[in-house]
Amino acid sequence: MAKLIMVVDDEEDIRNTVRAILEREGYNVKIAVNGDDCLKKLEDNKPDLILMDIMMPGTPVRKVVSKMKDIKIIYLTVVQVSDAERLELLSRKNVVGFINKPFNVHDLVNAVRGVIG
Amino acid sequence: MKVNIKKELKENQTVLFIMPSQDYNRDVVKVVKSLKGNIGYVTLNKTFDSLKETFKKAKVKTENILFIDAISKTIKSVPDQTEGCYYVSSPGSLTEISIAIDRIIKHEFDYLIFDSLTNMLVYESKAPVAKFVSSLVNKIRGSKTKAVFYALDVKEQAALIEQSGMFVDKVIELK
């Protein structure tokens, strides 16, 4: 059965692009428009991986992520963090990667494959 | 960047820089490097720690810069302030940002850098952001502080750029 990925981003273009890329790679993809929407949708579906934008309106991502301890997360981000902050964020058990925007298709697919196969 | 920032800020109190995405990080360093005096730096997309790291690598001294960081609190736990930085809840917390900027203006900083209007639009719609810019520019006009606003050159935000451009003294496209 195809793995399920949830793409959480407030930008429609990004959501649609990432969904198209991942579906082409054979993944099932659900989308959420922000952290609150993501938490709501998790009640019905538990994805194998979440791709989450760091910078979104609504509940801060820090708080959203703290509520989903057993789901792997890759951050999609334009936010610039220091090397130390990156390590600190990755030290959270379920945060498994960063993809900087703008990203290329290979980086995205490789990052996803590296986590869920 | 071919613009003479010093000259532009000598002639204009408020300037909006429209920056191409590909040169953005490089231009951010160049602007700070060119300014002499106390700087208040509002960041909506780079954490205080990452800016310190970037400026250190570029050999830019930060002792004269007071940062207002509106992004760190969204991704990690930080206090309300540390040495050299006030932390604000999020780029959408216009009131908090405004209060923090008031301190910079009150203490007669030489420059205020606002990085950037583009990121504010992630959290707020065009109307409140434009109102925020208008109000901020008015406050600056009553002070000795000079302000530099950044906006990324993106089609989707052309309307805000155009509107904000009416409030500031000069709009400069960094191409």
Amino acid at B33: K
- Residues of chain B with a CB closer than 8 angstroms to some CB in chain A: 25, 45-47, 49-54, 71, 73-77, 89-92, 119, 122-124
Q: Which residues pair with B8 in a beta bridge?
A: none
What is the side-by-side strand order in the sheet with B81-82? B81-82, B85-87, B65-69, B39-43, B111-115, B146-152, B14-19, B170-173
Contact residues, chain A to chain B, C-beta under 8 Å: 10, 54-57, 60-62, 78-85, 88-89
How far apart are the C-alpha atoms of B56 and B62, rounded to whole Å? 8
Strand partners, A28: A4
Contact A88 B76 (CB under 8 A): yes
Shortest CA gap B153–chain A (Å): 15
- Residue B98: its pLDDT value, please? 96
Lowest mean pLDDT among A5-9, A65-69, B16-20, B43-47: A65-69
Task: Give residue B169's pLDDT.
Answer: 96
Task: Please provide the distance, in angstroms rounded to a whole number, between the alpha carbons at the two ends of chain B.
Answer: 7
| Number of separate domains in chain A | 1
The backbone torsions φ and ψ at residue A25, rounded to the nearest 5 degrees and listed phi first, read: -85, 0
CATH number at residue A104: 3.40.50.2300
Q: Please give the average per-residue pLDDT across B50-68, as a whole number.
A: 96
Which stretch of DSSP H or E encloses residue A100? strand A95-100
pLDDT at B90: 92
Name residues whose C-beta falls within 8 Å of residue A65's C-beta, 6 or more positions apart in sequence: A52, A73, A92, A94, A95
Classified as helix, coil or strand, B14 is strand
Q: Residues B117-140: pLDDT tens digits?
A: 988 888 888 899 999 999 999 999
Identify which of B47, B49, B16, B46 has the alpha carbon closest to the alpha carbon of residue B31: B16
Q: What is the mean pLDDT of chain B?
A: 92
Contact B75 A61 (CB under 8 A): yes
Please tell me the distance from the alpha carbon of residue B104 to that of residue B126, in angstroms, as a whole number. Answer: 25
To test the contact with chain B by mutation, choose from A52, A76, A85, A92 the residue with the greatest count of B C-beta atoms within 10 A, namely A85
Which residue range(s) make up the domain with A88? Answer: 4-116
Report pLDDT digits (tens) over B152-162.
988 777 888 88
B75 and A78 in contact by Cβ < 8 A? no
| Residue B26: CB atoms within 10 Å | 11
Residue B1 has pLDDT above 70, yes or no: no
Which of B50, B75, B92 lies at the smallest CB-CB distance from A62? B75
- Tell me which chain A residues have a C-beta less than 8 angstroms from the C-beta of B73: 60, 62
Q: pLDDT below 70 — which residues of chain A?
A: none
The closest CB to that of B90, out of A60, A78, A84, belongs to: A60
Size of interface A-B (CB pairs under 8 A): 59
More confident residue, B21 or A17: A17
Q: Do B54 and A84 touch (CB under 8 A)?
A: no
Amino acid at A95: V
Distance in Å, alpha carbon of A15 to nearest chain B alpha carbon: 15
Q: Express each pLDDT in B67-110 by its tens digit.
A: 999 999 999 999 999 999 999 999 999 999 999 999 999 999 99
- How far, in Å, CA of B138 to CA of A19, rounded? 44
